[in-house]
Amino acid sequence: MLLDAQRALVTFATPASGEPDVDFISYWAPFRPGAEGYAAHARFVRRVASSYRSDLVIAGLWAETAAAAAHAAVSLPADGRLATQGHVLFAGDFLATLAVEATIHHLDLTAGDESLVGPSGPGLAVARQTLDGTLGEPVPVGWGDVEYLLKATGRAELTADDRAGLGILAARFPLLG
């Protein structure tokens, strides 16, 4: 999450003049399990996170960086183009990718603790729209938003009933890592 906030700050300060080459759905292609570079990216994130001596230190850095990113996001032009990770996106599409990241990681942080509040409705809606776009159609089973995110990101296993309901689409799961 800290890396996402840092990437947001850098991206907000990196306007692009070219045409967007990805949107909030196609942006995720390299981050699908099995995609080229996926395993190396996952190792990198684990190593960076493990370099902090305390969860409190990393949480404090995230809070400070995320607040700065949120402040910077307010001044983005609606039709602005931004450069990140070798791509150009419209500002709104980039913000949607950040919402998906935050929503999924919010679920990670609250997993198993019913006393913690889960992600917001708008974040869940953007994440569902992104997953449906990645799948190529609305998911054909009656999952709620949280169940869909958990199963589509490999955080929860597909059941036999899920696989039957998904049919040939089941082979595409997980959609994101």
* Helix H or strand E segment including 81: strand 81-84
CB environment 122-155: b (16+ within 10 A), e (fewer)? ebbebbbbbbbbbbeeebebebebbebbbbbbee
Highest mean pLDDT among 38-47, 109-118, 128-137: 128-137
pLDDT in tens, 160-177: 999 999 999 999 999 997
Mean pLDDT value of segment 116-125: 95
The ranges assigned to domains in the chain are: 2-172
Residue 12: closest CA among 87, 99, 101, 77: 77
CB 93 within 8 A of CB 20: yes
Give the pLDDT confidence of 30-61 residue by residue, as tens digits: 877 776 776 776 787 678 767 767 677 778 88
Q: So what's the pLDDT on residue 41?
A: 67
Amino acid making up residue 91: A
What does the mean pLDDT of the chain come to?
A: 90
Phi and psi based region of residue 110 (left: phi greater than 0; alpha: psi -120 to 50; beta: remaining): alpha
Helix ranges (DSSP H) in the chain: 2-12, 38-50, 55-73, 91-110, 121-135, 145-152, 160-166
In single-letter form, the type of residue at position 164 comes to A
What is the phi-psi region of residue 85: left when phi exceeds 0, alpha when psi lies from -120 to 50, beta otherwise?
left
When pLDDT is averaged across residues 55-84 and rounded to a whole number, the result is 89
Tell me the HSE value of 159 on the side-chain side, using a 13 A CA sphere.
7
Q: CA 36, 130, 86: angle at the middle one, nearest 5? A: 45
CA atoms within 13 A on the CB side of 129: 13
Query: Of 29, 27, 30, 145, whose CA–CA distance to 96 is shortest?
Result: 27
DSSP letter string over 113-130? -TTS----HHHHHHHHHH
